[in-house]
Each structure stands twice: as structure tokens, then as C-alpha cells.
A and B are shown apart, each in its own frame.
Chain A
Amino acid sequence: MRIIVAVKYVPDTAEEIGFDADHRLVRDADSGLLSELDEYAVEQALRLRDQLPDSTVTAVAIGPDDATAALRKALQMGADDATLIVDDQVAGSDVFATAGLLAAAVQSFSDAGALVCGMASTDAGTSAVPVLVAARLGWAGLTHASTISVAGQEITIGRTDETGTRTATAGLPVVLSVTDQTDEPRYPSFKDVLAAKRKKIAELDVDDLDVDPATVGAAAARVQVGAIARNPDRVAGRTLTDTDGSTAGELVAFLAETVH
């Protein structure tokens, strides 16, 4: 069985982020990396491999050539092989097109049994892709898992939020998305790094995947970005000091002004 882990190459959020004239993120910055949240997905995929007999892990990414860096990292962590979906036509794809491409990629592997994703990408952050892919594939979707356990061919996840922990179980095949509460991603040893250098990264384009080019790319996007604005810098708050209520008027005026 093949466990597929979807990884995304994202700009380093610590650096200045750039947008082009079409309001698209500049993706060729030299400080790109494997989305930190996707590292958790790779970790869980590797742990699933240990628990599911005769399974392998394939890392898949959609993106420009630079995105091989993200796949390389997944290989270093221990993925068996990697595939990059690279095609100029996919630039500007929205979540629906991305999900279509990923679903097609999964289907291109006849032995695919599970897809593991991070809970969100650190750039767009929609969290929508895993469920969309599950819907397209007709697989169960177990999302936002903070714990994963395997019993035979069944996967059980725990999903923890402020209200408590829910558990959900589904039989394979499944789409999983995992949170950063799952196990810390492993740091590859140098032996692993060397081994990863010897692994090849396969490349596929839209044609290879049998995806209709009209459904991908900026033109097909159902969401258009109108404008992008930076959050205003935070300004220091104002402190009113009083012991006799003399500033009440000022406070009311401030509140009235802020609400409007």
C-alpha cells in the first residue's frame, strides 16, 4: 500500500513576503521551505508506514521547480519516493483546482491507500484542500487529527480543541490531516540526508494526470483576490489615570469613536 503525503513549498513567513501585480504570492523567493505544518504530515505518514504492513510513503507537491526543496526534505525525513506536479498552467490555481490535481495525483497511483496532509498551509491557510480531495476521491476524510492510531485496516484519530477531544474512525482508504499537536517531526540524520540525495524526484504535468487544463490555473479560479493590504502597525494604547471619575467623559467619547 502506498501512503501519499502532500507537502507544500511555502515562503518563509519570517521573511518579508512579496506579492506580484496579480496579487499572487511571489513563490520564487530563495527563502522558501517545506511548510512547517506539513512536516507533521510527513512524520505521521512515516509512522503510519511503520504500522501498516508492506507500505511505502510517497511525497507529492504541486509547485514550481523550487518546490523540489520541500520534497527533498520529505525524502530526507524518510519518504521512499517523491513526485512533483509541475506545469506552468497550474500557476494561480485556487483550492478547488489544487484539490483536483491532488486527487488526480493520488489516483495515478493504483496502490494508493491513504493521503496525509498538514492541517493547513502556512501561506494560504484555508484548511480546505484535504476535505475537498476526500470528496473527489470518495474517501473518508479524518481531519485535524492530534492523535492517530491504527488497528488492522482502521484508522482512528483524536481531534482536540478547546471543547474537548473527539475520536473518529474510518477504514482505509482515508484522507488525513494532522495538526501540530502530533509528534514532533524528526530531524534527519546526515546518513538520511545522503541517502535522500540518491533518490530521484519524478515529475508529472497536467497532461500526465489527465486533468482538463481548463479546470486549473488562474483563469479557472473561482476566487479572485481584489486587493491586498498590510495590517496597520500596532499603535501604543492610551492610559487614563483617575481616582475620582473625572475621565469618564473622555472614556465614553473614546468608546463611541472606536465603535463607529
Chain B
Amino acid sequence: MMVVLVVAVVYSVIGVWLFARGAVRLIVQVRKGSPSPGRLLPVGRRIGATITEILSHRRFTTRPVAKVAHWCVMVSFVLLVPTLAAAYAQIVDAHAELPIVGGWAPWQWAVELFSWAGLAGIIALIIIRLRFSEHDPEPAAAQDWRSRFYGSTRWQAWFVEAVIAAVILCVLAMTACRNALLRQDPATAAAGSWVHFPTTYWLGSMVMSQPGHVLELSVGWFAFAKIMISMTWMGVVGAGITMSVAWHRFLSILNVYARRELDGTPALGAAAPMLVDGKPFDIRQIDDLAADATFGVNTITDFGWKGLLDFASCSECGRCQDVCPAWNTGKPLSPKLFTLALRDHAAATLGPAASKTPATAVSPHSDDLLTALARAGAAGSDDSANRGGQLIGPVINPEVLWACTTCGACTVQCPVDIEHVDHILDLRRGQVMTSAQFPEEFGGMFSNLEQRANPWGQPARKRLDWTRGLDFTVPVVGRDVADLSQVDYLFYVGCAGAFDERAGKTTRAVAELLHTAGVTFAILGKAESCCGDPARRAGNEATYQELAVANIEQLHQLGADKILVTCPHCLNTLSNEYAQLGAHFNLVHHTQLLNRLVREHRLELAPPDPGEAAPITYHDPCYLGRHNGEYEAPRELLGAAVVPGGADLLEMAHSGPTSMCCGGGGGRMWTEEKIGTRINTTRMGEATATGATTLATGCPYCSIMLGDAASSDEAAPEVRDVALMVLDSVHRAQNKHLAAASAATPSTDTD
């Protein structure tokens, strides 16, 4: 067996060398990224957060079976690595043990337990992959490539999974043989008792009849097999640094360590600031900018190193692809394919391969990925290794970039903390700010924002139109009240709330409810301007900041603190994004405030009469739910306003953190949806399927987009903001009081 050992050692040296070379290459490549400030400190908190996140698997927010299976496989991988070291000795000496822990019962128990758990886990994962995998690489029907694994490189996944299964089987086989060997010799029989082999004793019994030398030889060969399989894995993975399905085992630890949010929440809410030379861009200091400054991400090294680490860490699990509203309606964007395209481009242009690959070389993608990109219409125009070249066009199809609604479903799903939305925004910034390339419709939207401070290009005086016909005056700051210290809230109406007819109904309802509850408020009237969200989400950071800076100045002058909004986009921008510019306001969404008023009994509700109660469903706006974590207040409010009358609050197939976007975010409200089916009608289909007759929501964009979808479909539920349903409920309560009052004091009117 000495020869066998020599073979194993030589093979291992090659495997480890290849692996180490791959690791060094990855480090070198990631370091070529731009600065990602603040992603390494504070070390202590980050280490703590990393351990918690990995051990708890808390970013696995859906699919509990896969979560448990993955956790078992992960732990078994860590535990079985030391047993690999023992395997070298066991080739020549079947009785060899790991020093110190080797014969220690608790260690043996752990290894046994996690061998079985790992085996069960990997079988479960293989079954899951089989169930959802493509059998036909070029499926004819669109729905066939809706699998989350579509576009993931299949041989790599099978290889990695087969290696795990094979190694664990080797471990179990060796354990059985070694158990039998121990028990055959009375001197060591005690060490082979079930105390040391609680779950493999029975396996040992099965091979007890074999002669000792056969068992010893078997241990040696199984150990050899385990080493050869493991080292083959090391070599293959080391040679292919784009094999992220394997590399994620190591890189995701770093990626989780360098995550954007220290509190464990996904990289949503505020968009990451646009960095110029590693510093956040500030429109107030543009005179300091270098003449040759570029903005956003244009080439691969414009991404921060955390971005490059993101791309290299993708496990190809496809959870993001599975929930992407763009992908699910036939657009070429899949957050997974987007990530993988950038991963391969980075490896081809930044890695050592770059100098050897001729510039005209074919794409570095695997066949599966290439096929998926081509079928989805997502392929770049020239995917050769265009060193230092533009990403949009050659690598990422512009249709991919602009299809994103920034809904954040992908980022919530990603178990390895990839920051898709920030990367998409950075690329959009490059397109708009450096190259002035964007969908034609955005040109008008940008000009409207710059000239008229709202995306619709409406004149400012129309901002007060919604107040007409109310039976109380809506105070305007500067006209009716001197400053905001005299009222409870500044009601920041928002552009949709002021100019859009449907959203205007919500604005009126909220004003009426505040008036009823005795909450004082004032509006900015003509002086209000857009918060800047449409510009920012479309990549126009300059226009966003122009608006933001002017708004902040005005809000500070007026002494604004508590601000009420009906638009989750305003909420996100004013509270999370203005903070990046140094301004802090206390924002409240109308569903939150109304819910509080109901709880405090300042608004009295009456549910519909049992006969009139009709089932409703609630659509989570992305910027209220995923981006700002508010799922409960609107549901509780509906629960109080409507449900006691017997109406059911039904949930759609996707709701809460996996809710599906209405299609209006990310500037998509202003662009036509030319490819695939429409997101809003698809979402409406989910609402219709619940059997609800009303769809409640809490965002003007959602109301507009879904309202449009409902208007062309008779079966679709009616779209109404939660505020309108609360107002109805308040009116019912008021009418009941009136009726009761008139019954108590009989009318003297004889007519």
C-alpha cells in the first residue's frame, strides 16, 4: 500500500496546488475592483454577524427543506475535512486515528451523525435539483425554462453533489470496516462498541464475517478513494475559478462578512451611494471633481471589490431568478444570469487567463449559461474578452439592465448576500451619467424633473387641485401656517398623490381621515417637488441630488421633522436616502399612522354589514415591504376596517417578502413594456386567482399599475388603496351613529 500512499500524496499535492492557485487568482481578481469603503470594519461585529448568519442560515428565507438539507451538508463538510487528514495514514494502517480526538466518543458521534445527515442532505438536494432541472437543454415552451436552475451549469452542480455523496459513502464504508476490525480483536473490542459507533455498529456487524486482512485492505482502498475524489474536486475547482457553485463554500463567508447592512437585513432600502474615486458623489461639491471623472459603473473594475466578490460567490441556486418579476414575465433579465455574466467577464478579463486569451476569443461562459442567455435574449453583443471594455452592450444587454424594477425580490432571496439592486443601479448610473444612454422615455421624465420638479411635467400650481371640494381647508405652509411647528405632521403629498387621479383619491381620503381624527397637518402646496426617486432609480444621480438637496434645504427651513407620506417611494427616499446627504426626518407611511389612530381609538371603524362583506387581498408594495420592512400595519388596518364584517383577507401566491412587483418601480412606470407579458397583468392574475373582489394596496404606483391591469380585465378585483377602505369604514361608523341618534330622538318633522 506504500505505492498507493505515494500516488495519493502526489495527486494531493497537485490538487492542493491547483486549488491554492485558483484561490490566489480569485483574490487578485477581486482586489482589482474599486474601493468598497466600510466593508471590512468593524471586525468584531462583522465576524459575529457572519457566524450568526451562517450557522442560523437566516438568509434562507424560503424553502425549509432545502435550508435544512443545505445546513446538514455544510456542517458535514466542515466536520469531514479533518477525517481526510486521517485517511492518508489509514491507507497504510487501517487502525490509524486522528491524534487526540480520534477515539474520543463525542467526536466519533459527531462525525457519524453528520455523515448520515450530510448524506440525507445531499440526497435531498440532488432530488430537488432533479425535480426542477431542465431535462431538455433547449426547451421549446417558455415555461420550461422557468426552473430556478435554468442557466446554471449542470455538470458542475452534479459534479459537486456527486463528490459530496461519494466522499460521505467512503467515510461510512471505512467506519464499518474499522468497526469490524476493532471488534474482531478482543483487545480492542471495547473501542468498537456501540458507544463509539452508535449509528454504524450495525454496518460493522454486516462485514464482521470478513477476514481481517480483507477489512484492512478495504479501509486502505476506501481511504484512497476518498482522497482521490476530494483532490479531484480541489483540482477541478482550482482550475476553474468561475465554478462558483463550488467556490461559494469559501467565498460566501467573505461575502457575508463584507455585507452592506450590519444588522443582517438585505441590501435594500436606500440605494448605495454612487462613489467617485471611492467617495460618495455630492452634487454640492462638483467643482472638486476631476475633469476626467467617470460616473457609475462602466467597466468591470468600476465595481467595488465587494461587487466582484459578489459575482464570484454566486452559488447558482437560482432563488433570485425564481422570484424576479422581469424574468417571470419573459423579459431577458434574470438576476442570476446577470450575476453569472459579470462573473465570467471578470474572470476572463481580470484573471491570468486574460493575457493569454486573444481579444476575439469566444465567450468564457459555459454552454448551459450561453444557451440560457441566448434564449432569454440576454446575451451581450460581443461577449469576447473585451479587456477594460464597456459592460453594457458587449457583456450585459441593455434590455437586461433596463428591465429591472428594483423590486428587491432577488436580494431578499439571495442566501450569499449578493447586492443585485445596487449593481444594477451602478450600471444605470454609468449609462446615464457617463454615456447618456437610456430608454428614450426617460429623456422626457428627466427633463420634466429638471424643469418642473415632477416626472409628469405638470405645472406646480396643479399640486393643489386635489384639495378642491373638501369641506375643510388643507393648510399650506407659508400661506395658512407660518411653519411646521404649529402642526403635527407635514403631509408630503408626492407627485402621484397630487397629479394622478387615482392616487389623488388616496390623498383626499388620508386628508379626510386626519381631519376626522383631529390630527393637524400642513402641505407644501406649490412649493413641493419630487423626492427624486424616479431619477435615482433610473440612474440619474445628478438630477436626484439636485432635487434632494433643494428639498432638504426647504424642509430644514420650515422646521420639518415628522413627515407623513402615502407613497412608499417618498418614504424610502426621504427617510433612508436623504440621510445619506445628512438630513434626518421621521417618516411615517399613511397605513402606519392610520393604524396607530385606529389603535388609539381616534378613528372609529365599522365593518361592512355581513351581507356586503367581500373577500379582499393585499398587495405588498416593494418599497413598503421588502425595502422598508412594513408588512403588518396595512394588514392589521384592513383587519380592523373590513375583516370583522366577515370579509376574508386572502393572500396571493406571492406575498410578504416574496411579493411580486406591480411593474412600476425602477423608473419602469415611465417606460413601455415591450417584451414578454406585462408584469401588472401577471400580478393581477395572482390577485384574481384568490377569488378576492378587492385588491388593497398602499402605494400610488401600485394603484396606477394594477388599476391599469384591472381596467382591461373584467374578472379582476377592484384596486383600492387601504386608506379608501378605512375611510369607508369610518363613514359606516359615522352613519350608524347618525342613524342611532335620529332613532333616539324621533323626528318632529311631520312631512
Residues of A within 8 A of B (CB): 12, 14-16, 31, 33, 184, 186-194, 197-198
Q: Determine whether the beta carbon of A14 is less than 8 Å from that of B458.
A: yes
Q: Determine whether the beta carbon of A187 is less than 8 Å from that of B446.
A: yes
- Count of B residues near A, CB < 8 Å? 26
In the assembled complex, the CB of A158 is this many whole angstroms from the nearest CB of chain B, namely 22
From B293, B436, B452, contact of A188 by CB (8 A): B436
5 example contacts (A-B, Cβ-Cβ < 8 A) are as follows: A187-B436, A189-B433, A189-B434, A192-B436, A194-B286
Is B559 on the interface with A (CB-CB < 8 A)? no
On chain A, the residues within 8 Å of B442 by CB distance are: 187
In the assembled complex, the CB of B546 is this many whole angstroms from the nearest CB of chain A, namely 10
Q: Determine whether the beta carbon of B459 is less than 8 Å from that of A190.
A: no
Q: Determine whether the beta carbon of B461 is less than 8 Å from that of A15.
A: yes
Give the complex CA separation of A102 and B438 in angstroms: 36
Give the complex CA separation of A93 and B230 in angstroms: 88
Quick one: which of B386-436 are within 8 Å of A by CB?
432-436
In the assembled complex, the CB of A122 is this many whole angstroms from the nearest CB of chain B, namely 13
Most buried by B among A14, A190, A193, A197: A190
Given contacts A14-B458, A15-B459, contact A190 B451 (CB under 8 A): no
Q: Which residue of B lies closest to A77 (CB)?
A: B436
On chain A, the residues within 8 Å of B446 by CB distance are: 187
Is B618 on the interface with A (CB-CB < 8 A)? no
From B433, B440, B458, contact of A190 by CB (8 A): B433
Is B273 on the interface with A (CB-CB < 8 A)? no
In the assembled complex, the CB of A30 is this many whole angstroms from the nearest CB of chain B, namely 11
Give the complex CA separation of A197 and B447 in angstroms: 18
On chain A, the residues within 8 Å of B541 by CB distance are: 190
Is B481 on the interface with A (CB-CB < 8 A)? no
On chain B, the residues within 8 Å of A197 by CB distance are: 286
On chain B, the residues within 8 Å of A189 by CB distance are: 432-436
Give the complex CA separation of A129 and B177 in angstroms: 101
From A14, A184, A191, A194, contact of B440 by CB (8 A): A184
On chain A, the residues within 8 Å of B460 by CB distance are: 15
Given contacts A12-B452, A191-B294, A194-B289, contact A186 B436 (CB under 8 A): yes
Quick one: which of B329-359 are within 8 Å of A by CB?
none
Beyond the given pairs A190-B432, A194-B291, 14 more chain A to chain B contacts, judged by CB atoms under 8 angstroms and listed by A's residue number, are A14-B457, A15-B460, A31-B451, A33-B451, A184-B440, A187-B436, A187-B438, A189-B432, A189-B433, A189-B435, A190-B541, A191-B293, A191-B433, A194-B289
From B291, B438, B459, contact of A16 by CB (8 A): B459
Residues of B within 8 A of A (CB): 286, 289, 291, 293-295, 432-436, 438, 440, 442-443, 446-447, 451-452, 457-461, 541-542
On chain A, the residues within 8 Å of B438 by CB distance are: 187
In the assembled complex, the CB of A78 is this many whole angstroms from the nearest CB of chain B, namely 10
Most buried by B among A186, A189, A194, A197: A189
Q: Determine whether the beta carbon of A193 is less than 8 Å from that of B461.
A: no
Give the complex CA separation of A133 and B552 in angstroms: 47
Most buried by B among A31, A193, A194: A194
On chain B, the residues within 8 Å of A187 by CB distance are: 436, 438, 442-443, 446-447
Give the complex CA separation of A66 and B541 in angstroms: 26
In the assembled complex, the CB of B670 is this many whole angstroms from the nearest CB of chain A, namely 13
On chain B, the residues within 8 Å of A12 by CB distance are: 451-452, 459
In the assembled complex, the CB of B588 is this many whole angstroms from the nearest CB of chain A, namely 32
On chain A, the residues within 8 Å of B433 by CB distance are: 189-191
Give the complex CA separation of A164 and B30 in angstroms: 60
In the assembled complex, the CB of A252 is this many whole angstroms from the nearest CB of chain B, namely 39
On chain B, the residues within 8 Å of A15 by CB distance are: 459-461
On chain A, the residues within 8 Å of B286 by CB distance are: 194, 197
In the assembled complex, the CB of B462 is this many whole angstroms from the nearest CB of chain A, namely 9
Give the complex CA separation of A34 and B72 in angstroms: 65
Q: Which residue of B lies closest to A186 (CB)?
A: B436
Give the complex CA separation of A167 and B365 in angstroms: 51
In the assembled complex, the CB of B444 is this many whole angstroms from the nearest CB of chain A, namely 9
On chain A, the residues within 8 Å of B440 by CB distance are: 184
In the assembled complex, the CB of A187 is this many whole angstroms from the nearest CB of chain B, namely 5
Q: Which residue of B lies closest to A192 (CB)?
A: B436
Q: Which residue of A lies closest to B289 (CB)?
A: A194
In the assembled complex, the CB of B18 is this many whole angstroms from the nearest CB of chain A, namely 44
Shortest 7 CB-CB contacts between residues of A and residues of B: A189-B436, A190-B433, A14-B459, A187-B443, A190-B542, A15-B459, A33-B451
In the assembled complex, the CB of B435 is this many whole angstroms from the nearest CB of chain A, namely 6
Q: Determine whether the beta carbon of A16 is less than 8 Å from that of B461.
A: yes
On chain B, the residues within 8 Å of A198 by CB distance are: 291
In the assembled complex, the CB of B718 is this many whole angstroms from the nearest CB of chain A, namely 29
On chain B, the residues within 8 Å of A191 by CB distance are: 293-295, 433-434
Give the complex CA separation of A160 and B447 in angstroms: 27
On chain A, the residues within 8 Å of B457 by CB distance are: 14
Give the complex CA separation of A187 and B447 in angstroms: 8
Give the complex CA separation of A190 and B276 in angstroms: 13
In the assembled complex, the CB of B671 is this many whole angstroms from the nearest CB of chain A, namely 14
In the assembled complex, the CB of B296 is this many whole angstroms from the nearest CB of chain A, namely 9
Q: Determine whether the beta carbon of B452 is less than 8 Å from that of A190.
A: no
On chain A, the residues within 8 Å of B447 by CB distance are: 187
Given contacts A12-B451, A14-B458, A16-B459, contact A190 B434 (CB under 8 A): yes
Q: Which residue of B lies closest to A188 (CB)?
A: B436
On chain A, the residues within 8 Å of B289 by CB distance are: 194
Q: Which residue of A lies closest to B286 (CB)?
A: A194
Q: Which residue of A lies closest to B431 (CB)?
A: A189
Q: Which residue of A lies closest to B287 (CB)?
A: A197
Q: Determine whether the beta carbon of B452 is less than 8 Å from that of A14.
A: yes
In the assembled complex, the CB of B362 is this many whole angstroms from the nearest CB of chain A, namely 32
Give the complex CA separation of A14 and B438 in angstroms: 26
On chain A, the residues within 8 Å of B458 by CB distance are: 14
Give the complex CA separation of A141 and B142 in angstroms: 56
Q: Determine whether the beta carbon of A193 is less than 8 Å from that of B542.
A: yes
In the assembled complex, the CB of B216 is this many whole angstroms from the nearest CB of chain A, namely 73
Give the complex CA separation of A211 and B312 in angstroms: 69
Give the complex CA separation of A104 and B286 in angstroms: 37
In the assembled complex, the CB of B751 is this many whole angstroms from the nearest CB of chain A, namely 34
On chain A, the residues within 8 Å of B294 by CB distance are: 191
Q: Which residue of A lies closest to B281 (CB)?
A: A190
Give the complex CA separation of A188 and B295 in angstroms: 13
Give the complex CA separation of A190 and B281 in angstroms: 12
Give the complex CA separation of A14 and B433 in angstroms: 27
On chain A, the residues within 8 Å of B293 by CB distance are: 191, 194
On chain B, the residues within 8 Å of A190 by CB distance are: 295, 432-434, 541-542
On chain A, the residues within 8 Å of B461 by CB distance are: 15-16
On chain A, the residues within 8 Å of B295 by CB distance are: 190-191
In the assembled complex, the CB of B302 is this many whole angstroms from the nearest CB of chain A, namely 14
Give the complex CA separation of A209 and B190 in angstroms: 112
